[in-house]
Amino acid sequence: MRVVALTGTPGTGKSGISAELEKRGYAVLEIAALIDSLHVRTSFNPEYSSREVDTDELRTKVDGHLSSMKPAMLFLSGHLSHFATCGTAVVLRCEPHTLHERLRRRGWNEAKILENVRAEILDVILVEASERIKDVFEVDTTGREVTSATDIVLDAVGKMPDSLRPGRINWTGEIEEWF
């Protein structure tokens, strides 16, 4: 089975694109649901009101769970999905001002929003995925409809084009404006 991590900073559009992929008949599993159902160890970080996951345990338990599954291709969706064993990762990206606006609309506090904007500018998820996964692609969701972003995700996975390999998206020039 080909496992594709659909990952990216919170707010980049993983859930929206996952729903669209399911609508088109693709198999999608939410990594957060697996973390719960497989009882992967987590701890709560009060500073960011977020939970931290034991990524070694995540990998072992999720890999074990997936080994019994049958679809030819499975999308594993969520910002921790690239810690499972995947041959391919699609890292969703979003321009920092747009990301800030998306997260603000959720009612998140400014500290939590800025932590995620910083992570997006610094390519944190891209680096984590590239350290672990052979074929990594980036899809910029800024200013795109979910349907069009989904088309590009499927292009990345299907055609593996050089044009979607890492290196073209660079928001580091914005770091001084933000921090």
Ligand X SMILES: Nc1ncnc2c1ncn2[C@@H]1O[C@H](COP(=O)(O)OP(=O)(O)OP(=O)(O)O)[C@@H](O)[C@H]1O
Contacting residues toward ligand X, per CB under 6 A = 8, 10-17, 79, 102, 141, 144-146, 149
**Shortest Cβ distance from residue 70 to ligand X (Å)?**
26
Q: Which does 13 bind (CB under 5 to 8 A by kind): Mg ion, ligand X, none?
A: ligand X
**Shortest Cβ distance from residue 167 to ligand X (Å)?**
21
CB 134 within 8 A of CB 87: yes
**Shortest Cβ distance from residue 15 to Mg ion (Å)?**
3
Distances (CA, A) of 133 to 85, 109, 150, 155: 8, 32, 21, 18
Compute the distance between CA of residue 11 and CA of residue 2 in angstroms, rounded to an integer. Answer: 25
Q: Is 50 in the site for Mg ion (CB under 5 A)?
A: no
Return the number of the residue (1 or 36) whose C-beta is nearest ligand X: 36
Q: Which of 6, 8, 15, 69 binds Mg ion (CB under 5 A)?
A: 15
Compute the distance between CA of residue 94 and CA of residue 16 in angstroms, rounded to an integer. Answer: 14
Q: Which does 102 bind (CB under 5 to 8 A by kind): ligand X, Mg ion, none?
A: ligand X
Compute the distance between CA of residue 158 and CA of residue 108 in angstroms, rounded to an integer. Answer: 35
Return the number of the residue (118 or 144) whose C-beta is nearest ligand X: 144
**Shortest Cβ distance from residue 78 to Mg ion (Å)?**
7
Please choose, out of 11-19, 44-52, 130-138, 146-154, the segment that lies near Mg ion by the rule CB under 5 A.
Answer: 11-19
Burial 17-36 (b: 16+ CB within 10 A, else e): bbebbeeeebbbbbbbebbe
Phi-psi sector, 27: left (phi>0), alpha (psi -120 to 50), beta: beta
Binding site for Mg ion (CB under 5 A): 14-15
